[in-house]
Copies of this chain bind each other. A is one copy, B any other.
Amino acid sequence: MANNNSNNQYAYKAKPATFYGAGVGPGDPLLLTLKTHQLIQSADVISYIGNTNGHSQAREIARHSIEARTSAAEEVMVKMPMSTNRRLANQAYDEAAMLLRQHLAAGKSVVFLCEGDPLFFGSFSYLLQRLGGDFACQVVPGITSVNAAAATLQQPLTLLQESFAVVSGRHTDQQIEQTLAQHDSVVIMKAGQARPRILALLRQTGRWQDGHYLEYIGRDQQRLVSDLDDLEDQAGPYFSLFVIVRQERPA
């Protein structure tokens, strides 16, 4: 079985003039895929979203992989204002696309790092809209916080004929209620401000006992609440979610 050359059989290098959207997973640096790790090693340009203070969670997750490079990459941080104003966000994406476009037109490989998965509530979608028509693009999926949450809870997300849905704290009461009534397993993302509302809906729909709560999955400040009776009925952090799975499940 020993074969020290085998890693070369599936080495993967970023191609020139190609735009990659690469998921870095939910927080644990070891949840990067081999592909994303290798793209980070070989890309000319590494880009990511950062906040207006210059902190990038995506870069932080990929830090070990970036530091493992034998030579420094050019890095491009896309500063994103913390606001629900879509005009400001779209302006930031426009500027980022213009900058990355120059690198791609010059024949460089560009890897855009995304928390979680690039196409699951991801900012990469907006850059793909702007650059996808003009350059070769590739998407490398990443571990979502949904799958990381199930792993942390050690609770099957779906078994056999169970159905599964994802909604967020931004959905209406009616949408969340219908989803809880119709699907065996439900994940409610971005629970933050909506936590009291979600707790009320879980009681109303009889799904209280099925609920689990997590925040900051895979980070140092991770918190897991298995019994919702132990969870404060008040707003919490943005990076939090509920996982609702049936107590009685098929064997």
Tell whether A192 is near chain B: CB-to-CB under 8 Å.
no
Tell whether A239 is near chain B: CB-to-CB under 8 Å.
no
Out of B31, B33, B64, name the residue touching A7 (CB < 8 Å). Answer: B64
Interface size on A, residues (CB 8 A): 77
Give the distance in Å from the alpha carbon of A66 to the alpha carbon of B6 in the complex: 9
Give the distance in Å from the alpha carbon of A119 to the alpha carbon of B72 in the complex: 38
Whether the Cβ atoms of A166 and B167 lie closer than 8 Å is no
Q: Which one of A104-112, A143-151, A196-204 is at the interface?
A: A143-151
Whether the Cβ atoms of A34 and B31 lie closer than 8 Å is yes
Give the distance in Å from the alpha carbon of A38 to the alpha carbon of B166 in the complex: 31
Tell whether A47 is near chain B: CB-to-CB under 8 Å.
no
Give the distance in Å from the alpha carbon of A187 to the alpha carbon of B120 in the complex: 13
Whether the Cβ atoms of A141 and B147 lie closer than 8 Å is yes
Whether the Cβ atoms of A119 and B150 lie closer than 8 Å is yes
Tell whether A60 is near chain B: CB-to-CB under 8 Å.
no
Tell whether A211 is near chain B: CB-to-CB under 8 Å.
no
Tell whether A194 is near chain B: CB-to-CB under 8 Å.
no
A175-B163 contact, Cβ under 8 Å, with A25-B33, A29-B10: yes
Q: Which one of A95-103, A132-140, A228-236 is at the interface?
A: A132-140
Q: Which residue of B lies closest to A118 (CB)?
A: B151
B residues in contact with A155, CB < 8 Å:
119
> How many copies of the shown chain assemble into the complex?
2
Whether the Cβ atoms of A150 and B33 lie closer than 8 Å is no
| Binary per-residue interface labels of chain A (27-61) against chain B in the complex, 1 for a CB within 8 Å, 0 otherwise | 01111111101100000000000000000000000
Give the distance in Å from the alpha carbon of A152 to the alpha carbon of B201 in the complex: 36
Whether the Cβ atoms of A120 and B35 lie closer than 8 Å is no
Q: Which residue of B lies closest to A23 (CB)?
A: B147
Give the distance in Å from the alpha carbon of A2 to the alpha carbon of B1 in the complex: 32
Give the distance in Å from the alpha carbon of A60 to the alpha carbon of B38 in the complex: 21
Whether the Cβ atoms of A139 and B143 lie closer than 8 Å is no
Whether the Cβ atoms of B158 and A67 lie closer than 8 Å is no
A163-B179 contact, Cβ under 8 Å, with A32-B34, A125-B156: yes
B residues in contact with A33, CB < 8 Å:
25, 30-34, 143
B residues in contact with A86, CB < 8 Å:
251
Tell whether A81 is near chain B: CB-to-CB under 8 Å.
no
Tell whether A207 is near chain B: CB-to-CB under 8 Å.
no
- 7 nearest A-B residue pairs (beta carbon): A30-B35, A125-B156, A139-B151, A165-B165, A1-B72, A141-B147, A141-B151
